[in-house]
Amino acid sequence: MNDISAKLARGWIEAWIRMDIEWLREHLATHFVHTSPFGRLAGRDHYLETVVPMARKSVQRLSIKAVIGSEDQAAIWFENLTPKGAIPSCDWVCVEADKIKAIQSFYDATKVREVLSSDEQSTLGDRY
């Protein structure tokens, strides 16, 4: 069985741990879509331009707890330590052609909202 989805899910969080934006650029599909409690961001470059500055402010440490995966999907359970405390989090990672095409993030956004300004939060979801 091909475990590329689990490897990419682990790589996703490890890249954020290292703030390795080049890894993210290389492994996210150009049409990448990220959905979180803040909203939906479409497009790899748009996502990175929006999220990287806020991640530098709100993420102090990430630690991976577990990863499970199939050929084209994986779930990664991790802890996000913010300046306001730890947030248990889970990302559902969808893979296509050996790239991450979509991630649905599940977490309580309360502590992140305490760190980011209202203006910053408003940019984390595209308007339709």
| Domains and their CATH numbers in the chain | 4-104 (3.10.450.50)
Average pLDDT of the chain, as a whole number: 91
pLDDT (0 to 100) of residue 120: 80
Kindly state the percentage of the chain with pLDDT values over 90.
70
pLDDT (0 to 100) of residue 43: 97
Cβ–Cβ < 8 Å for 8, 76:
no
User: 97: left (phi > 0), else alpha (psi -120 to 50), else beta?
Assistant: left
Cβ–Cβ < 8 Å for 31, 41:
no
Residues in the chain, overall count: 128
